Structure formats: structure tokens, C-alpha cells
Structure 1
Amino acid sequence: MTPPELDRKSALFLDLDGTLLEIAATPEQVVVPPGLPSLLAHLHHQLEGAVAIVTGRPLAQTDELLRPFSASAAGEHGVSLRYADGTREELPAGIAVPSAWREELEAAVQRWPGVLVEPKPHGFAVHYRLAPEYGNEVWRLVRQLVPPEHPWFHLVPAREAVEIGLRSASKGHAVERLMAHAPFHGRRPIFIGDDFTDEAGMRKARELGGIGLRVAEVFGGDPANVRAWLMEGAQRLDGRSASSIPTGVTP
């Protein structure tokens, strides 16, 4: 599959880890290419603000990674939304993962060297990328904590990780909510992601007349190719060569 050409009516919804950034051993070890924030800011200007980061990370953490770029965004797989005017929305408000679950998992990882618990404002993730041999034990425990019929929380599989998140939120819901507001409304959504949690965002983009692109299928599984495509799109939108893009804007 060939990625589409960006045009002035596009709206970009971009996952972060595994899509814009290479996956790292731990969430804290990701490396942000120096030119990425500038590239995103340039596209944000070209598309009149219709660029959103839709990620499993909390919004504050995302902003810190991409500083000084900040725009519309969805954090924790759609639990937290930020609109173009800065308005924030929590979906739903006032629900947090029971502390007893977190305490039980944190006690368990003491027996599993290399397994990490990543706390988030509305949930948490358990990463076993550094210790895949414990994957089955991790899943056995989280399934005991969160049965399939739980009314508020569910298990979200990820790349060598599992997240306990809110059942009512998804990246698809985030795309739908953002597309209902300016500057996204009336545009063609393009959602790019690499993981299971991105599938809902891709489906919603297609439902709304756009397209969902999997990094593995369209970009060879390489975030550098996603960044290169974004750079090419920025050049095409401006009708200029790479040397015309502002200094520091490189993939």
C-alpha cells in the first residue's frame, strides 16, 4: 500500500511510540529526533492546526517529549483530550484504577526482573519487553485483576506490554471527538499507528471518509519512513524544495 499525498484538506492523527518515534527498551528511553517538533509545527501551520498526537502516553509526558510543539492531542488512548483552543476533556472524569491492583502488580514485578509498571493518571501499563519470558505470568495476573466482564476497565494488549485502561475510551472515540470540532471538522482524517490500540483510530478515520495507515504495512515498520513521508508532505504543501523548509525541520 502506498501512503496518500497530503493536501490542504487533510487532518493528521499521529500515534507517537512506534509511529513517530522508534520503540525503546523502556518508555523513558525513547529518543526524539531533533527536527521532529519543528516538522510537526510546520505541518500544523500548513494544515491550519489540523494535526493531533493520539497516544497511550499521558498528555503532560507527550508535551515534554515534543517540546516546544503543542497542539490538539489525545492521551492515554483517548482518556484525555485537548482541543485546538486548549480546552481539556477527561473521558470519563473521576474514575481511576484501584490502588490495590497497582500495589499487587508492583509487588509481583519484584519477582520478575526486567518487568516494569508504568503508572498513568487513569491507569497503568505493564511492560515485559526486557523480560519476555515473564509475559505469560504478567497476563495471568492482569486477567485475574480485570475479568472480561469488568464494567469500567479492560485489558489493552500492546507490543510486549499490557495496559489496564478505561473501557469507555479509545483512540477511535478521540478521533471522532476531535473531528467534530475546528480545525478538523470537514477534513479528511489520516490516522497512522503501529499497534493494536491504534486500530480503533484507523477504523474511525475510515468511517469518517479518511484512511488508516499501519506503520508495518505502509512504512516498512520504520518510524523514520513515517517522518520522511511527513517531510515530503510538508514540502509538497509548500511547493518548495527541502532547502526551503525552516532550519531544524528534518525527520
Structure 2
Amino acid sequence: MASILPEIAPDWALFLDLDGTLLDIAPRPDAVIVPPGLVDSLRGVAARLNGAVAIISGRPVGDVDRFLAPLAMPGGFGHGSEIRLPGGAPTPSEAARHLPGEWLVRLREAASGWPGVLVEPKAHGVAMHFRLAPEREAEVRVLMESCAADCEDFALLPAHMAFELRPAGANKALPVEVLMRHAPFEGRRPVFVGDDVTDEDGMEAARRHGGFGLHVGRDFRGGSAEVRAWLARGASA
């Protein structure tokens, strides 16, 4: 029996993943489309929750700010490698690590011979996408595993048609834990909305603070379009 989707309540602190949750997955990381009305919905929900809305994304903060301009929302970026408190500037978290420069050289050299495989550098990590070349999945995995084996500071993370190297201590629970210690999040009921295995850490953190998680695939039958409609309802409630 399908669960009943709860509507946004005024005592929530809302933590939102970006790709696959607010935005539809695109063939390339730079090809995502921000649907009309999304920024207005986020602004409206944030006003209703006294600012307790955060974006928790694997993307770097610059990407998120560009997509959601003119908003510069609090949250966690790079899987928690960077955190921005309300009204503040993004700063590296305790989990942040610098990616070995030689890894980018190795990945880009390999990708140059694999049409359709894309390398996405991040502030504290790197992703290798094979959505446009699914037959390269095993080769991308082996290459990324070889990098991770060289450095215990980084861990290999499966993603949507991609593999990512991120700092071993970085995850989406970290920004939830940090933000829940600060106004306006403190004392509210945290709700984490995400679509991927990387979001499960954030959902578990929300549960530890008396809240819960909503999974796009399990709780939103219409996918990210339904998430956006849900936000629009919450903004106008």
C-alpha cells in the first residue's frame, strides 16, 4: 500500500537534494534545466519556514548558486565538503580534502579515449560520468577504484550513471548535523528529501533529530516533477 505523502508543515526544517530531486537528471551535468517556478517555490517555502530550507548536494556551491540564482541558500555542497550557514559564506567542512592533482590527469587521459565519458572536477572531489557511454561502466569503475586504492582519504561512491571520488569523511549527514545546531533550523523537525543512495545518510540524520526522510522513488510517484509541485503547494499554503 502506497504511503500518503505529507504536506510541508510550519515546524519543519527542510533539506533538499538537487539533481534527481528538484531537477530532472540530464545527460550531462551542465545540461540540467531549472524549471520555471522552482526558485519562487523555494523562496516561498523558505519564507513560510522562517528560512529553515537547505540544499544538500553533491555539486559544488558555485553550481548550485548558479542554478538557483538569485538565491544563495544555506546547505551542504560536495557531499558535505562545504557548508554554508544562513547568511554566511560557504566554508570547507571538517571532511574537506584536496584531490590529488595527478588523478585528474589520469581520468582526463582515459576519458579522451572513451567518447561520451565525462570528467567533472569538484572543489574536493571528482566524478566520472558514463551516461552517454554505458558500455564503459566497468572500465570507469576500475579506473576510479585504482585511484581510491592509492589514498585512504578518499572513497569511491556510485552515483547516477557515474562514479565519484569524495573525501572519505564527507556525506550528506554532516551538513544536516551542523545546520540543526543553528537558527533557524535548531528545534525544528528535519525532513530530508532525496533520490539517491547518497541521500540515505541525510535521511538517517533527520531521523536522529526526530524527523524523517522522503525518497523521490518511493514517496513521489511523479518523480522530481511531483517534488516541485509539492514545494509549490507548500509555498502557497
The answer to whether the Cα contact below 8 Å between 1:91 and 1:168 also exists between their aligned partners in 2 is no
The aligned counterpart of 1:134 is 136
Letter in 2 for 1:70: A
The aligned counterpart of 2:51 is 49
Give, in whole Å, the separation in 1 of the partners of 2:181 and 2:114. Answer: 44
Give, in whole Å, the separation in 2 of the partners of 1:94 and 1:211. Answer: 26
Q: SS at the partner of 1:78? A: coil
Give, in whole Å, the separation in 2 of the partners of 1:137 and 1:172. Answer: 30
The aligned counterpart of 1:203 is 204
The answer to whether the Cα contact below 8 Å between 1:14 and 1:192 also exists between their aligned partners in 2 is yes
Q: 2:88 aligns with which of 72, 80, 86?
A: 86
The aligned counterpart of 1:224 is 225
Structure 1 residue 2, shift from structure 2 partner: 2.2
How many residues are treated as equivalent by the alignment? 235
Cα displacement string for residues 34-59 of structure 1 (whole angstroms, at most 9, x for unaligned residues): 21111101111111000001001111
Structure-2 change in CA distance of 1:221 and 1:157 (3 Å): farther
Q: SS at the partner of 1:25? A: coil
Q: SS at the partner of 2:79? A: helix
Q: 1:20 aligns with which of 19, 22, 31?
A: 22
Give, in whole Å, the separation in 1 of the partners of 2:205 and 2:75. Answer: 16
Give, in whole Å, the separation in 2 of the partners of 1:161 and 1:140. Answer: 12
Structure 1 residue 89, shift from structure 2 partner: 2.7
Q: Any residues of structure 2 matched to 1:57-96 within 5 Å, and which?
A: 57-92=59-94, 95-96=97-98
Cα displacement string for residues 62-101 of structure 1 (whole angstroms, at most 9, x for unaligned residues): 0010111222121101110000131433123773110111
The aligned counterpart of 1:144 is 146
Give, in whole Å, the separation in 2 of the partners of 1:23 and 1:50. Answer: 25
Structure-2 change in CA distance of 1:129 and 1:94 (3 Å): closer
Give, in whole Å, the separation in 2 of the partners of 1:194 and 1:83. Answer: 24
Q: Percent identity?
A: 47
Which structure 1 residue ranges, 4+ long, deviate > 6 Å from structure 2? Answer: none
Letter in 1 for 2:217: A
Give, in whole Å, the separation in 2 of the partners of 1:6 and 1:16. Answer: 18
Q: Under a length normalisation based on structure 2, what TM-score does the superposition of the two structures give?
A: 0.95
Q: Under a length normalisation based on structure 1, what TM-score does the superposition of the two structures give?
A: 0.90
Structure 1 residue 233, shift from structure 2 partner: 1.9
Which is worse superposed, 79-88 or 102-111?
79-88
The aligned counterpart of 2:168 is 167
The answer to whether the Cα contact below 8 Å between 2:120 and 2:127 also exists between their aligned partners in 1 is yes
Give, in whole Å, the separation in 1 of the partners of 2:41 and 2:230. Answer: 11
